[in-house]
Structure 1
Amino acid sequence: MAEFAFHHCGVSVPSLDAAIEWYGRVLGFAVEKRFHIAAAGAEAAMVRKGQLRFEIFEVKGAAPLPDDRRHPPADLKTHGNKHVAFRVEDLEEFLAEMEAKGADVAFVVREAFGKGCFLRDCAGNLIEFVEEPTP
């Protein structure tokens, strides 16, 4: 089988500038490049933190994120891509940092199988952060 590796996650937002600010201020991503995608009528940016990347799109006239896509249990009831997830060392420390930054914490899970949380970005898109259980 051909080898491949993760490259980026794509997210559509109503304001590219607001999303660049949010991903930088809240999660520490920096703009790698900005560009126009003529075929989609999109202004876009690739933001990066280490090896992690988000490709952010602003398309004039795009429909807003439906309310059921903003809450993890409801979102699972619609087929399609759901979210991207990142590992954190300490969920409680991460949550305290995110709350101090004013992040929108959508959902927190503290179960025997593991702990995690979902944030909503400035457009309501879900991003998961997981603390893996110690063996």
Structure 2
Amino acid sequence: MNFRKATKEDISIIVEMIADDELGKKRENFQNPLPQEYIKAFEEINADKNQELIIVQDENNEIIGTLQLSFIQYLTYRGGIRAQIEAVRIRKDKRGIGLGKTMFEWAINRAKERNAHLLQLTTDKQRPQAIKFYEDLGFKATHEGMKIHF
């Protein structure tokens, strides 16, 4: 597998993967042509040195997965860096063969390379299989997350 930063040409495939699950179908707008808000978001992510939108390619250079890492600098933890992983998706026909674990191992190593002191994620409580997967990787539910949607 090959991990690389996403390019503008990858956006449509990424959005398609993000929209291809029960929750994603409700909140995404995958269509052709792709709505401009996705292009604008990609440009902002790509311009930010603390954001890494990653695609995963197989041995045939086909895109089979994606994830986004954000590196958050803050004052606590002695000026530490917190890594946040989001939007981890695997193409539907490639799920269930261990790619998720490989992608998380890559992300953990990348966070360590950037000197992050922890890697965090949020997951929807409606995804019990995902929660079990994250726990098996060593993630612990140490805090109660809260959100307000606008």
Q: TM-score, normalised by structure 1?
A: 0.30
More relative contact order in 1 or in 2 (CA 8 Å, sep 6+)? 1
Q: Which structure's residues are more often strand, by fraction?
A: 1
